[in-house]
Protein backbone atom coordinates (compact mmCIF):
# COMPACT_ATOMS: atom_id res chain seq x y z
CA UNK A 1 0.00 0.00 0.00
CA UNK A 2 1.47 3.42 -0.92
CA UNK A 3 2.53 5.36 2.15
CA UNK A 4 0.33 8.34 1.24
CA UNK A 5 -2.73 6.09 1.00
CA UNK A 6 -1.81 4.38 4.27
CA UNK A 7 -1.49 7.73 6.03
CA UNK A 8 -4.80 8.88 4.55
CA UNK A 9 -6.63 5.78 5.73
CA UNK A 10 -5.06 6.08 9.18
CA UNK A 11 -6.21 9.69 9.48
CA UNK A 12 -9.74 8.77 8.43
CA UNK A 13 -9.92 5.92 10.93
CA UNK A 14 -8.50 8.03 13.75
CA UNK A 15 -11.11 10.63 12.89
CA UNK A 16 -13.81 7.96 13.16
CA UNK A 17 -12.52 6.96 16.58
CA UNK A 18 -12.41 10.57 17.72
CA UNK A 19 -15.95 11.24 16.51
CA UNK A 20 -17.16 8.03 18.15
CA UNK A 21 -15.47 9.08 21.38
CA UNK A 22 -17.12 12.48 21.29
CA UNK A 23 -20.55 10.95 20.68
CA UNK A 24 -20.43 8.52 23.59
CA UNK A 25 -18.25 10.39 26.10
CA UNK A 26 -21.24 11.68 27.99
CA UNK A 27 -22.76 8.23 28.39
CA UNK A 28 -19.87 5.77 28.83
CA UNK A 29 -17.61 6.20 31.88
CA UNK A 30 -13.90 5.96 31.23
CA UNK A 31 -12.23 2.85 32.61
CA UNK A 32 -8.61 2.26 33.51
CA UNK A 33 -9.05 -1.51 33.37
CA UNK A 34 -6.16 -3.75 32.47
CA UNK A 35 -4.71 -4.70 30.08
CA UNK A 36 -3.40 -1.60 28.39
CA UNK A 37 -0.24 -0.04 27.03
CA UNK A 38 2.73 -1.51 28.84
CA UNK A 39 1.01 -4.81 29.54
CA UNK A 40 2.93 -7.98 28.68
CA UNK A 41 2.39 -9.53 25.27
CA UNK A 42 -0.06 -12.46 25.30
CA UNK A 43 2.72 -15.08 25.25
CA UNK A 44 4.00 -13.64 28.54
CA UNK A 45 0.57 -12.91 30.09
CA UNK A 46 -0.79 -15.61 32.46
CA UNK A 47 -4.37 -14.63 31.55
CA UNK A 48 -3.94 -16.37 28.19
CA UNK A 49 -2.80 -19.69 29.66
CA UNK A 50 -5.15 -22.38 30.92
CA UNK A 51 -3.38 -25.18 32.74
CA UNK A 52 -6.40 -27.26 33.70
CA UNK A 53 -8.04 -30.11 31.85
CA UNK A 54 -10.54 -29.28 29.12
CA UNK A 55 -11.94 -32.81 29.07
CA UNK A 56 -15.69 -32.58 29.42
CA UNK A 57 -15.68 -28.80 28.96
CA UNK A 58 -18.13 -27.69 26.27
CA UNK A 59 -16.82 -25.61 23.36
CA UNK A 60 -17.48 -21.93 23.99
CA UNK A 61 -17.25 -22.24 27.77
CA UNK A 62 -15.80 -19.10 29.37
CA UNK A 63 -12.80 -20.08 31.50
CA UNK A 64 -11.97 -16.62 32.84
CA UNK A 65 -12.56 -12.97 31.99
CA UNK A 66 -11.29 -9.49 32.71
CA UNK A 67 -12.27 -5.94 31.73
CA UNK A 68 -10.45 -4.00 29.03
CA UNK A 69 -10.51 -0.55 27.46
CA UNK A 70 -10.76 -0.07 23.71
CA UNK A 71 -7.76 2.05 22.72
CA UNK A 72 -4.79 2.44 20.43
CA UNK A 73 -1.23 3.04 21.63
CA UNK A 74 -1.79 6.79 21.19
CA UNK A 75 -5.55 7.23 21.58
CA UNK A 76 -7.67 6.45 24.64
CA UNK A 77 -11.42 6.08 24.20
CA UNK A 78 -14.26 5.69 26.72
CA UNK A 79 -15.30 2.43 25.07
CA UNK A 80 -14.92 -0.54 27.40
CA UNK A 81 -15.40 -4.27 27.05
CA UNK A 82 -14.12 -7.59 28.32
CA UNK A 83 -11.60 -10.22 27.35
CA UNK A 84 -12.74 -13.81 27.76
CA UNK A 85 -10.58 -16.94 27.71
CA UNK A 86 -12.72 -19.73 26.30
CA UNK A 87 -12.56 -23.36 25.28
CA UNK A 88 -12.44 -24.08 21.56
CA UNK A 89 -11.16 -26.84 19.24
CA UNK A 90 -7.98 -27.19 17.21
CA UNK A 91 -7.56 -28.49 13.65
CA UNK A 92 -7.53 -32.09 14.87
CA UNK A 93 -10.51 -31.94 17.23
CA UNK A 94 -8.62 -31.42 20.49
CA UNK A 95 -9.75 -29.00 23.17
CA UNK A 96 -7.69 -25.80 23.38
CA UNK A 97 -8.16 -22.29 24.75
CA UNK A 98 -8.00 -18.86 23.15
CA UNK A 99 -9.17 -15.31 23.89
CA UNK A 100 -11.90 -13.12 22.45
CA UNK A 101 -12.67 -9.45 23.03
CA UNK A 102 -16.35 -8.71 23.73
CA UNK A 103 -17.53 -5.15 23.11
CA UNK A 104 -21.01 -3.83 23.89
CA UNK A 105 -22.71 -1.34 21.54
CA UNK A 106 -22.66 2.36 22.20
CA UNK A 107 -26.43 2.75 21.91
CA UNK A 108 -29.11 0.57 23.54
CA UNK A 109 -31.36 -1.63 21.46
CA UNK A 110 -32.07 -5.23 20.46
CA UNK A 111 -28.89 -7.30 20.51
CA UNK A 112 -27.28 -7.86 17.10
CA UNK A 113 -24.01 -9.74 17.43
CA UNK A 114 -21.19 -9.38 14.89
CA UNK A 115 -18.13 -11.63 14.97
CA UNK A 116 -15.46 -9.41 13.43
CA UNK A 117 -12.29 -11.19 12.31
CA UNK A 118 -9.23 -8.99 12.08
CA UNK A 119 -6.57 -9.69 9.44
CA UNK A 120 -3.80 -10.00 11.97
CA UNK A 121 -1.94 -12.66 9.95
CA UNK A 122 0.43 -13.32 12.80
CA UNK A 123 3.31 -15.49 13.85
CA UNK A 124 3.96 -13.50 17.03
CA UNK A 125 1.51 -12.98 19.92
CA UNK A 126 1.99 -9.19 19.92
CA UNK A 127 -0.25 -9.21 16.83
CA UNK A 128 -3.24 -10.81 18.64
CA UNK A 129 -6.45 -8.75 18.24
CA UNK A 130 -7.07 -8.80 21.99
CA UNK A 131 -3.70 -7.11 22.50
CA UNK A 132 -4.21 -4.65 19.65
CA UNK A 133 -7.69 -3.60 20.74
CA UNK A 134 -6.45 -2.82 24.24
CA UNK A 135 -3.70 -0.56 22.91
CA UNK A 136 -0.78 -2.95 23.04
CA UNK A 137 0.25 -2.98 19.39
CA UNK A 138 -0.92 -1.68 16.04
CA UNK A 139 -0.07 -1.24 12.38
CA UNK A 140 -1.86 0.37 9.44
CA UNK A 141 -4.23 -2.53 8.84
CA UNK A 142 -5.04 -2.98 12.53
CA UNK A 143 -5.74 0.73 12.94
CA UNK A 144 -8.11 0.65 9.97
CA UNK A 145 -9.94 -2.41 11.28
CA UNK A 146 -10.20 -0.94 14.76
CA UNK A 147 -11.96 2.02 13.17
CA UNK A 148 -14.36 -0.33 11.38
CA UNK A 149 -15.11 -2.09 14.66
CA UNK A 150 -15.83 1.30 16.25
CA UNK A 151 -18.29 1.91 13.42
CA UNK A 152 -20.17 -1.30 14.20
CA UNK A 153 -20.30 -0.34 17.88
CA UNK A 154 -21.59 3.14 17.05
CA UNK A 155 -24.29 1.58 14.87
CA UNK A 156 -25.61 -0.49 17.78
CA UNK A 157 -23.93 -3.84 17.22
CA UNK A 158 -22.40 -6.01 19.92
CA UNK A 159 -19.00 -7.11 18.59
CA UNK A 160 -16.88 -10.15 19.45
CA UNK A 161 -13.32 -10.29 18.09
CA UNK A 162 -11.60 -13.68 18.52
CA UNK A 163 -7.87 -14.44 18.56
CA UNK A 164 -8.71 -17.17 16.06
CA UNK A 165 -5.12 -18.32 15.36
CA UNK A 166 -4.97 -19.65 18.90
CA UNK A 167 -2.17 -19.75 21.44
CA UNK A 168 0.40 -21.10 18.96
CA UNK A 169 -0.35 -18.52 16.23
CA UNK A 170 -1.31 -21.11 13.61
CA UNK A 171 -1.98 -18.84 10.67
CA UNK A 172 -4.21 -19.79 7.67
CA UNK A 173 -5.41 -23.00 9.35
CA UNK A 174 -9.02 -23.35 8.24
CA UNK A 175 -11.16 -25.53 10.50
CA UNK A 176 -9.34 -24.38 13.62
CA UNK A 177 -9.96 -20.73 12.73
CA UNK A 178 -13.62 -21.47 12.08
CA UNK A 179 -14.00 -23.31 15.38
CA UNK A 180 -12.44 -20.38 17.24
CA UNK A 181 -14.84 -17.94 15.57
CA UNK A 182 -17.93 -20.03 16.34
CA UNK A 183 -16.84 -20.75 19.91
CA UNK A 184 -16.06 -17.05 20.37
CA UNK A 185 -19.69 -16.34 19.50
CA UNK A 186 -20.82 -18.99 21.98
CA UNK A 187 -18.54 -17.52 24.64
CA UNK A 188 -19.85 -14.01 24.01
CA UNK A 189 -23.43 -15.21 24.26
CA UNK A 190 -22.75 -17.00 27.54
CA UNK A 191 -20.74 -14.13 28.97
CA UNK A 192 -23.44 -11.60 28.09
CA UNK A 193 -26.25 -14.03 28.93
CA UNK A 194 -27.73 -13.82 25.47
CA UNK A 195 -30.05 -16.50 24.08
CA UNK A 196 -28.76 -18.74 21.29
CA UNK A 197 -31.54 -17.24 19.14
CA UNK A 198 -29.57 -13.96 19.04
CA UNK A 199 -28.93 -13.06 15.36
CA UNK A 200 -25.25 -13.25 14.40
CA UNK A 201 -23.23 -11.95 11.47
CA UNK A 202 -19.67 -12.97 10.49
CA UNK A 203 -17.30 -10.63 8.69
CA UNK A 204 -13.61 -10.56 7.78
CA UNK A 205 -11.20 -9.54 5.03
CA UNK A 206 -7.99 -11.23 3.85
CA UNK A 207 -6.65 -13.24 6.81
CA UNK A 208 -9.94 -12.43 8.55
CA UNK A 209 -11.82 -14.14 5.74
CA UNK A 210 -10.42 -17.49 6.92
CA UNK A 211 -12.42 -17.76 10.19
CA UNK A 212 -15.33 -16.05 8.43
CA UNK A 213 -15.65 -18.48 5.53
CA UNK A 214 -14.63 -21.57 7.49
CA UNK A 215 -16.97 -20.60 10.32
CA UNK A 216 -19.87 -20.42 7.88
CA UNK A 217 -18.83 -23.70 6.25
CA UNK A 218 -18.58 -25.81 9.40
CA UNK A 219 -21.33 -24.13 11.45
CA UNK A 220 -24.18 -26.44 10.35
CA UNK A 221 -22.41 -29.41 11.96
CA UNK A 222 -20.24 -27.80 14.63
CA UNK A 223 -22.55 -25.07 15.96
CA UNK A 224 -26.04 -25.70 14.55
CA UNK A 225 -27.68 -23.79 17.38
CA UNK A 226 -26.19 -20.46 16.29
CA UNK A 227 -28.52 -18.22 14.32
CA UNK A 228 -26.11 -16.96 11.67
CA UNK A 229 -28.06 -14.59 9.44
CA UNK A 230 -25.30 -13.40 7.12
CA UNK A 231 -21.61 -13.80 6.28
CA UNK A 232 -19.31 -11.31 4.51
CA UNK A 233 -15.82 -12.44 3.45
CA UNK A 234 -13.41 -10.54 1.21
CA UNK A 235 -9.97 -11.21 -0.27
CA UNK A 236 -10.12 -14.95 0.40
CA UNK A 237 -7.12 -17.34 0.19
CA UNK A 238 -9.22 -20.19 -1.19
CA UNK A 239 -6.48 -22.65 -2.20
CA UNK A 240 -2.91 -21.73 -1.27
CA UNK A 241 -1.51 -24.11 -3.89
CA UNK A 242 -2.67 -21.46 -6.36
CA UNK A 243 -1.48 -18.47 -4.33
CA UNK A 244 2.09 -19.72 -3.91
CA UNK A 245 3.00 -19.57 -7.63
CA UNK A 246 1.25 -16.19 -7.91
CA UNK A 247 3.38 -14.52 -5.22
CA UNK A 248 6.59 -16.29 -6.26
CA UNK A 249 9.25 -13.58 -6.42
CA UNK A 250 6.72 -10.84 -5.63
CA UNK A 251 8.13 -7.50 -4.43
CA UNK A 252 5.19 -7.10 -2.04
CA UNK A 253 4.16 -10.57 -0.85
CA UNK A 254 7.07 -13.02 -1.17
CA UNK A 255 7.57 -12.92 2.61
CA UNK A 256 4.33 -14.86 2.94
CA UNK A 257 6.11 -17.95 1.57
CA UNK A 258 8.36 -18.66 4.59
CA UNK A 259 5.59 -17.56 6.95
CA UNK A 260 3.30 -20.28 5.62
CA UNK A 261 5.98 -22.86 6.30
CA UNK A 262 6.26 -21.65 9.90
CA UNK A 263 2.48 -21.96 10.33
CA UNK A 264 2.38 -25.45 8.83
CA UNK A 265 5.35 -26.56 10.91
CA UNK A 266 3.49 -25.52 14.06
CA UNK A 267 0.20 -27.14 13.07
CA UNK A 268 1.27 -30.28 11.23
CA UNK A 269 4.70 -30.88 12.83
CA UNK A 270 6.40 -30.76 9.44
CA UNK A 271 9.94 -32.09 9.34
CA UNK A 272 11.24 -28.98 7.60
CA UNK A 273 14.85 -30.13 7.97
CA UNK A 274 14.13 -32.68 5.26
CA UNK A 275 13.29 -30.12 2.58
CA UNK A 276 14.23 -26.53 3.55
CA UNK A 277 17.40 -25.05 2.10
CA UNK A 278 19.74 -23.04 4.35
CA UNK A 279 18.14 -19.86 3.03
CA UNK A 280 14.69 -21.32 3.55
CA UNK A 281 15.47 -22.20 7.16
CA UNK A 282 16.98 -18.76 7.74
CA UNK A 283 14.00 -16.83 6.38
CA UNK A 284 11.53 -19.05 8.24
CA UNK A 285 13.37 -18.33 11.47
CA UNK A 286 13.47 -14.61 10.74
CA UNK A 287 9.69 -14.31 10.29
CA UNK A 288 8.69 -16.74 13.04
CA UNK A 289 7.65 -14.10 15.59
CA UNK A 290 6.44 -11.27 13.34
CA UNK A 291 3.18 -9.78 12.04
CA UNK A 292 2.54 -9.78 8.30
CA UNK A 293 3.27 -6.05 7.99
CA UNK A 294 6.79 -6.87 9.19
CA UNK A 295 7.52 -9.71 6.75
CA UNK A 296 5.32 -9.57 3.63
CA UNK A 297 7.49 -7.17 1.62
CA UNK A 298 10.82 -7.79 3.36
CA UNK A 299 11.98 -10.49 0.96
CA UNK A 300 11.36 -9.13 -2.56
CA UNK A 301 12.22 -11.67 -5.20
CA UNK A 302 12.16 -14.66 -2.84
CA UNK A 303 10.87 -17.77 -4.60
CA UNK A 304 9.54 -21.14 -3.63
CA UNK A 305 12.64 -22.65 -5.24
CA UNK A 306 14.86 -20.58 -2.91
CA UNK A 307 13.16 -22.21 0.06
CA UNK A 308 13.96 -25.84 -0.74
CA UNK A 309 16.95 -28.12 -1.19
CA UNK A 310 17.51 -30.78 -3.84
CA UNK A 311 15.84 -32.85 -5.18
CA UNK A 312 12.91 -30.45 -4.70
CA UNK A 313 12.42 -27.55 -7.11
CA UNK A 314 9.72 -25.81 -5.09
CA UNK A 315 7.45 -26.21 -2.06
CA UNK A 316 4.71 -27.85 -4.12
CA UNK A 317 7.13 -30.73 -4.74
CA UNK A 318 7.09 -31.52 -1.02
CA UNK A 319 4.39 -34.07 -0.05
CA UNK A 320 4.09 -32.73 3.52
CA UNK A 321 3.41 -29.21 2.28
CA UNK A 322 0.87 -30.29 -0.34
CA UNK A 323 -1.04 -32.38 2.20
CA UNK A 324 -1.20 -29.39 4.58
CA UNK A 325 -2.45 -27.10 1.81
CA UNK A 326 -5.07 -29.63 0.70
CA UNK A 327 -6.36 -29.81 4.28
CA UNK A 328 -7.22 -26.10 4.09
CA UNK A 329 -9.00 -25.67 0.75
CA UNK A 330 -12.15 -23.63 1.26
CA UNK A 331 -15.41 -25.29 0.30
CA UNK A 332 -14.08 -28.78 1.03
CA UNK A 333 -15.61 -29.49 4.45
CA UNK A 334 -19.24 -28.43 4.33
CA UNK A 335 -21.97 -26.16 3.00
CA UNK A 336 -23.03 -22.91 4.70
CA UNK A 337 -26.66 -22.38 5.57
CA UNK A 338 -26.35 -18.60 5.86
CA UNK A 339 -26.33 -16.25 2.85
CA UNK A 340 -22.84 -15.18 1.78
CA UNK A 341 -21.23 -12.04 0.40
CA UNK A 342 -17.92 -12.94 -1.25
CA UNK A 343 -15.63 -10.26 -2.71
CA UNK A 344 -12.15 -9.91 -4.19
CA UNK A 345 -9.99 -7.35 -5.99
CA UNK A 346 -8.92 -7.93 -9.58
CA UNK A 347 -5.81 -5.94 -10.45
CA UNK A 348 -4.35 -8.11 -13.20
CA UNK A 349 -5.23 -11.20 -15.21
CA UNK A 350 -4.82 -13.47 -12.16
CA UNK A 351 -5.96 -11.58 -9.09
CA UNK A 352 -5.34 -8.71 -6.69
CA UNK A 353 -1.55 -9.38 -6.47
CA UNK A 354 -2.11 -11.80 -3.55
CA UNK A 355 -5.48 -13.54 -3.89
CA UNK A 356 -6.70 -15.42 -6.96
CA UNK A 357 -9.86 -13.95 -8.48
CA UNK A 358 -10.79 -17.19 -10.25
CA UNK A 359 -10.53 -19.11 -6.98
CA UNK A 360 -13.05 -16.85 -5.23
CA UNK A 361 -15.33 -17.13 -8.27
CA UNK A 362 -14.89 -20.91 -8.15
CA UNK A 363 -15.85 -20.98 -4.47
CA UNK A 364 -18.90 -18.79 -5.09
CA UNK A 365 -19.97 -21.02 -7.99
CA UNK A 366 -19.49 -24.18 -5.91
CA UNK A 367 -21.69 -22.81 -3.14
CA UNK A 368 -24.31 -21.60 -5.61
CA UNK A 369 -24.47 -25.10 -7.10
CA UNK A 370 -25.22 -26.42 -3.61
CA UNK A 371 -28.11 -24.00 -3.14
CA UNK A 372 -26.34 -21.37 -1.03
CA UNK A 373 -27.50 -17.75 -1.47
CA UNK A 374 -24.32 -16.01 -2.69
CA UNK A 375 -23.67 -12.41 -3.70
CA UNK A 376 -20.31 -12.00 -5.46
CA UNK A 377 -18.50 -8.66 -5.89
CA UNK A 378 -15.33 -8.00 -7.89
CA UNK A 379 -13.27 -4.82 -7.55
CA UNK A 380 -11.64 -4.38 -10.92
CA UNK A 381 -8.37 -2.44 -10.95
CA UNK A 382 -7.80 -2.74 -7.20
CA UNK A 383 -4.89 -4.46 -5.47
CA UNK A 384 -5.43 -6.53 -2.35
CA UNK A 385 -4.97 -3.76 0.20
CA UNK A 386 -6.94 -1.25 -1.87
CA UNK A 387 -9.89 -3.63 -2.12
CA UNK A 388 -10.18 -3.58 1.70
CA UNK A 389 -11.59 -0.03 1.49
CA UNK A 390 -14.15 -1.15 -1.09
CA UNK A 391 -15.14 -4.29 0.80
CA UNK A 392 -15.77 -2.95 4.31
CA UNK A 393 -18.68 -0.58 3.54
CA UNK A 394 -20.29 -3.19 1.30
CA UNK A 395 -19.91 -5.83 4.01
CA UNK A 396 -21.43 -3.46 6.57
CA UNK A 397 -24.41 -2.81 4.29
CA UNK A 398 -24.81 -6.50 3.50
CA UNK A 399 -24.96 -7.45 7.18
CA UNK A 400 -27.25 -4.52 8.03
CA UNK A 401 -29.67 -5.77 5.38
CA UNK A 402 -29.53 -9.31 6.74
CA UNK A 403 -30.20 -8.09 10.28
CA UNK A 404 -33.05 -6.01 8.84
CA UNK A 405 -34.58 -8.98 6.98
CA UNK A 406 -34.09 -7.25 3.62
CA UNK A 407 -34.22 -9.72 0.71
CA UNK A 408 -30.80 -10.69 -0.67
CA UNK A 409 -29.64 -9.74 -4.15
CA UNK A 410 -27.94 -13.00 -5.04
CA UNK A 411 -26.20 -13.04 -8.41
CA UNK A 412 -25.65 -16.80 -8.53
CA UNK A 413 -27.22 -16.93 -11.99
CA UNK A 414 -24.38 -14.88 -13.48
CA UNK A 415 -21.37 -16.25 -11.56
CA UNK A 416 -19.14 -18.28 -13.93
CA UNK A 417 -17.55 -21.61 -13.00
CA UNK A 418 -14.19 -20.11 -12.02
CA UNK A 419 -11.13 -22.16 -11.12
CA UNK A 420 -11.17 -25.79 -10.09
CA UNK A 421 -10.68 -26.23 -6.36
CA UNK A 422 -9.74 -29.89 -6.56
CA UNK A 423 -6.91 -30.91 -4.21
CA UNK A 424 -3.40 -30.76 -5.63
CA UNK A 425 -2.05 -34.26 -6.35
CA UNK A 426 0.44 -35.22 -3.65
CA UNK A 427 3.89 -35.74 -5.23
Band of pLDDT at residue 33, cut at 50, 70 and 90? very low
Regarding whether 335 and 250 lie in a shared domain, the answer is no
Model confidence over 96-120: pLDDT tens digits?
A: 999 999 999 988 788 999 999 999 9
Band of pLDDT at residue 370, cut at 50, 70 and 90? very high
pLDDT attached to residue 27 = 31
Q: Is residue 422 part of a domain?
A: no
**In 3D, which of 378, 391, 316, 325 has the Cα closest to residue 352?**
378
Q: Is residue 40 part of a domain?
A: yes
Q: How far apart are CA 364 and CA 385, in angstroms?
A: 21
* Cβ partners under 8 Å of residue 70, min gap 6: 77, 79, 80, 81, 103, 133, 134, 146, 150
Q: How far apart are CA 332 and CA 218, in angstroms?
A: 10
Q: How far apart are CA 360 and CA 411, in angstroms?
A: 14
Q: Is residue 170 part of a domain?
A: yes
Regarding whether 81 and 40 lie in a shared domain, the answer is yes
Q: How far apart are CA 29 and CA 20, in angstroms?
A: 14
Q: Is residue 228 part of a domain?
A: yes
pLDDT attached to residue 109 = 83
Q: Is residue 265 part of a domain?
A: yes
pLDDT > 50? residue 389:
yes
pLDDT attached to residue 35 = 64
Percentage, residues of the chain above pLDDT 90: 87
Query: Last residue of a domain, which of 293, 326, 359?
Result: 326
pLDDT attached to residue 366 = 98
Model confidence over 39-73: pLDDT tens digits?
A: 899 999 999 999 999 999 999 999 999 999 999 99
**Domain around 280:** 240-326
Band of pLDDT at residue 78, cut at 50, 70 and 90? confident
Contact 142, 133 (CB under 8 A): no
Per-residue buried b or exposed e for 122-139, using 16+ beta carbons within 10 Å of the residue's own CB: bbbbbbbbbbbbbbbbbb
pLDDT > 50? residue 23:
no
pLDDT attached to residue 106 = 80
Regarding whether 380 and 259 lie in a shared domain, the answer is no
Regarding whether 123 and 227 lie in a shared domain, the answer is yes
pLDDT attached to residue 28 = 28
CB atoms within 10 A of CB 426: 12
Q: Is residue 213 part of a domain?
A: yes
Regarding whether 395 and 268 lie in a shared domain, the answer is no
Q: Is residue 424 part of a domain?
A: no
Q: In the predicted model, what is the mean pLDDT of residues 349-372?
A: 98
Q: What are phi and psi of 22, to 5 degrees?
A: -65, -40
Contact 82, 159 (CB under 8 A): no
Provide the number of structural domains found in the chain. Answer: 2
Per DSSP, the three-state class of 259 is helix
pLDDT attached to residue 17 = 40
Query: Last residue of a domain, which of 275, 297, 326?
Result: 326
Regarding whether 254 and 160 lie in a shared domain, the answer is no
pLDDT attached to residue 13 = 41
Regarding whether 38 and 18 lie in a shared domain, the answer is yes
Regarding whether 189 and 87 lie in a shared domain, the answer is yes
pLDDT > 80? residue 25:
no
The gap from C-alpha 262 to its chain's centroid, in whole angstroms, comes to 18
Q: Is residue 356 part of a domain?
A: yes
Q: How far apart are CA 151 and CA 399, in angstroms?
A: 13
> If you write DSSP's letter for every residue of 390-425 in order, what string do you get?
HHHHHHHHHHHHHHTTPPP---GGG----S--PPPP
Regarding whether 322 and 194 lie in a shared domain, the answer is no
pLDDT attached to residue 108 = 79
pLDDT attached to residue 3 = 43
Query: Last residue of a domain, which of 269, 302, 326?
Result: 326
Model confidence over 120-148: pLDDT tens digits?
A: 999 999 999 999 999 998 999 999 999 99
Regarding whether 253 and 269 lie in a shared domain, the answer is yes
**In 3D, which of 235, 41, 215, 26 has the Cα closest to residue 128?**
41
Regarding whether 249 and 165 lie in a shared domain, the answer is no
CATH number at residue 9: 3.40.50.1820
Ordered strands of the 95-103 beta sheet: 62-71, 76-89, 95-103, 158-162, 113-117, 199-205, 227-234, 340-346, 374-380
Model confidence over 312-348: pLDDT tens digits?
A: 999 999 999 999 999 999 999 999 999 999 999 999 9
pLDDT > 80? residue 184:
yes
Band of pLDDT at residue 29, cut at 50, 70 and 90? very low
Regarding whether 180 and 39 lie in a shared domain, the answer is yes
Amino acid sequence: MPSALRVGIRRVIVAVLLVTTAIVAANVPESRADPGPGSPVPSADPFYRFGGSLTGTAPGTVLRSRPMSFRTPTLTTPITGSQVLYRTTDQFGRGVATVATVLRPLTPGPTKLVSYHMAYDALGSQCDPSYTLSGGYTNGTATAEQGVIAGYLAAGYTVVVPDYEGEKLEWTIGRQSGYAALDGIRAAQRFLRLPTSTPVGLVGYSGGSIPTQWGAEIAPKYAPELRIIGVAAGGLPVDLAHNLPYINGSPDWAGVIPALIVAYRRTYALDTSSFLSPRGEQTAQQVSALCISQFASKYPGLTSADMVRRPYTGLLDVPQVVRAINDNIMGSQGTPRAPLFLAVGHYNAIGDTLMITGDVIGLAHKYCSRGVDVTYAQYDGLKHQQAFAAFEPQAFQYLAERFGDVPTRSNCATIPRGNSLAPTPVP
